[in-house]
Structure 1
Amino acid sequence: MHTIWKGSISFGLVNIPIKLHAATEDKDIKLRTLHKECHSPIKYEKVCPTCGKDVKTDEIVKAYEYTKGKFVVLDDEDFNKLKKENEDKSVEIIDFVMMNEIDPIYFNRSYYMSPNEGGVKAYSLLRKALQESGKVGLAKIIIRSKEQLAVLRVFENTLIMETIHFPDEVRKAQDVPNVPVESNVTKKELDTAILLIDQLTTEFKPEKYTDEYRTALLELIEAKRTGKELVTPIEKEAPANVTDLMAALQASIDRTQPKKTVTKRKKAVTKKTKKNA
């Protein structure tokens, strides 16, 4: 597994040398943009709209637009200064909290952590302490010149770090338009909805969920590549346009109910027939 970062975990006076590995991977299918006429890949060139000429990489600078058309230009020296001030490559645990206190909206990316040379015992100690306490570490780390807030926890006997958004990066739910303040749901509707939830409740097994669109797209690409005829999949039943909420709930319950076995009933009818004979 590729190492993307080397540093250490620190909490109190304890220091654990570690390596960071991406825990997830993007499996989106990358499609190129071609010229329809000759199928040549399209190039995206950097052109200045004012000068009307191509701009080379060494002629480009970064800037912050603080108001429309007004910029503060930042050069390499500015970034290098900030980098030196924050060059300590450590995951500094600043607090320990309960995992259920952190809403999933904060979570961003996941990274596996492995012990670097000399860090095996301290790594095992932190892992065991987190398992026994039932808590997670709240930490700060700088990755690619950006300070990140992160959670350290145990996943399948491996320390995992999950970067999380800072509070000011999460938009307020109160700003979402048209959210009803009060509920006008009847008890019958609520009971029926809960019954439907109960019928659809199952144990979470991640392996049973697949990206159906990606699979279909890959099959389409392979079929076009090899000149084979693609079999059209059976279309899923479209949801009915039911405006009556109770009717929709009841129809959903009827659809998700397990099929009743008629074996016992058949046996009962057979016995009754024999007795009458």
Structure 2
Amino acid sequence: MHTIWKGSISFGLVNIPIKLHSATEDKDIKLRTLHKKCHSPIKYEKTCPVCDEEVKQEEIVRAYEYTKGKFVILEDEDLNKLKKENEEKAVEIIDFVKMEEIDPIYYDRSYFMSPSDGGGKAYSLLRKALQESEKVGLAKIIIRSKEQMAVIRVFENSLVMETIHFPDEVRSAADVPNVPAEDKVTEKELDTAIMLIDQLTTTFNPEKYTDDYRNALIELIESKRSGKEIVTPVEKEQKSNVTDLMAALQASIDKTKPKQTSTEAPKKKRTTVKTKKQA
């Protein structure tokens, strides 16, 4: 597995050197956008609407818009220094809580944790302690320039870090529109609904569930590919150097042609001289 973060995590005086690895992967089918006319992939270029020109990467700076149309520019040097200062800190477990006390709405992404060199014993100790206590650890960590809360728990035989949202990142349920304030249901309706839930209740088996849309999309792509319903971009016609040279020469000739002025003397009309016939 690819390592995306290296550091250490601690609880009390116990320090565990660890590595983080992504626990999930995005299997969405990536579709490209083509020009319908010639089937060429569409480019998305960064342009400046004021200068009306394409902007290169080295010409881009980051800024915070503190009010409409007004920005504070943040230099890379300042951001990198701030990032380094925080990333060098060890990730400390600040609390231990029951996992059921954390609502799933807070969860974000999952990462497997593996021990670095010399961290095997401390890793095993934390894993065993979490299992026996039936608790999870709460910690803070900087990942990709963002400080996040994290839950450390046991999954199968590994420690897993789940990043979670801060409370101010979760919107209030009170702001959801059109939610009925009271349950206006009859006893019969409720009994029927509970009966249906009981009939559909089972043990969670993740292997049972598949992404039907993704599978159908893969089948559609394969059927079109097998049936040779394939398009290729129309190649852009390249101008030859000869054409460019000839065009430049002709333009030069046209540019240097003397212009006819109105002061030119008018051309004389041709006259014909009649001769006498010989007798």
What TM bracket, shorter-length normalisation?
0.7 to 0.9
In the alignment, which residue of structure 2 is the partner of 1:183? 183
Which amino acid is 2:15 matched to? N
Give how far 1:58 is off.
0.8
Q: Encode CA deviations 1:18-43: one digit per residue, 9 max, x unaligned.
A: 11110000000011111112211111
Task: Tell me, in whole angstroms, the C-alpha distance in 1 between the residues paired with 2:215 and 2:228.
Answer: 16
In the alignment, which residue of structure 1 is the partner of 2:65? 65
Which amino acid is 1:103 matched to? D
Task: Tell me, in whole angstroms, the C-alpha distance in 1 between the residues paired with 2:19 and 2:81.
Answer: 25
Task: Tell me, in whole angstroms, the C-alpha distance in 2 between the residues paired with 1:228 and 1:188.
Answer: 57
Please show how residues 26-175 of structure 1 align to structure 2 within 5 Å: 26-88=26-88, 90-175=90-175
Q: Encode CA deviations 1:157-210: one digit per residue, 9 max, x unaligned.
A: 110000000000000001111111111111111111100100111111110100
The RMSD of aligned alpha carbons is 1.3
Give how far 1:89 is off.
5.0
Q: Encode CA deviations 1:75-130: one digit per residue, 9 max, x unaligned.
A: 11220231233132532111000001000000000000111100010000000000
In the alignment, which residue of structure 1 is the partner of 2:204? 204
Task: Tell me, in whole angstroms, the C-alpha distance in 2 between the residues paired with 1:95 and 1:120.
Answer: 22
Give how far 1:73 is off.
1.1
Is 1:20 matched with 2:20?
A: yes
Q: Is residue 96–residue 137 contact of structure 1 (8 Å, CA) maintained in 2?
A: yes
Give how far 1:152 is off.
0.2
Q: Secondary structure at the match of 1:86?
A: helix
Q: Is residue 130–residue 136 contact of structure 1 (8 Å, CA) maintained in 2?
A: yes
Output the TM-score relative to the length of structure 1: 0.80
Which amino acid is 1:204 matched to? F
Q: Secondary structure at the match of 1:4?
A: strand
Q: Which runs of 5+ in 2 are unaligned?
A: 230-279
Higher relative contact order structure (alpha carbons within 8 Å, sequence separation ≥ 6)? 2
| Identity across matched positions, percent | 82
In the alignment, which residue of structure 1 is the partner of 2:244? none
Residues 228 and 203 of structure 1: CA distance in aligned 2, closer, same or farther (over 3 Å):
farther
Task: Tell me, in whole angstroms, the C-alpha distance in 2 between the residues paired with 1:2 and 1:81.
Answer: 25
Output the TM-score relative to the length of structure 2: 0.80
Please show how residues 225-244 of structure 1 align to structure 2 within 5 Å: 225-227=225-227
Give how far 1:5 is off.
1.1
Which amino acid is 2:192 matched to? T
Which amino acid is 1:205 matched to? N
Give how far 1:225 is off.
0.6
In the alignment, which residue of structure 2 is the partner of 1:240? none
Task: Tell me, in whole angstroms, the C-alpha distance in 1 between the residues paired with 2:207 and 2:226.
Answer: 30
Q: Which runs of 5+ in 1 are unaligned?
A: 230-277
Q: Encode CA deviations 1:35-92: one digit per residue, 9 max, x unaligned.
A: 1122111111111001101111111111111111111111112202312331325321
Larger radius of gyration: 2
Q: Secondary structure at the match of 1:220?
A: helix
In the alignment, which residue of structure 1 is the partner of 2:260? none
Of residues 102-111 and 75-84 in structure 1, the stretch that sits farther from structure 2 once superposed is 75-84
Which amino acid is 1:221 matched to? I
Which amino acid is 2:153 matched to? R
In the alignment, which residue of structure 1 is the partner of 2:4? 4
Which amino acid is 2:138 matched to? L
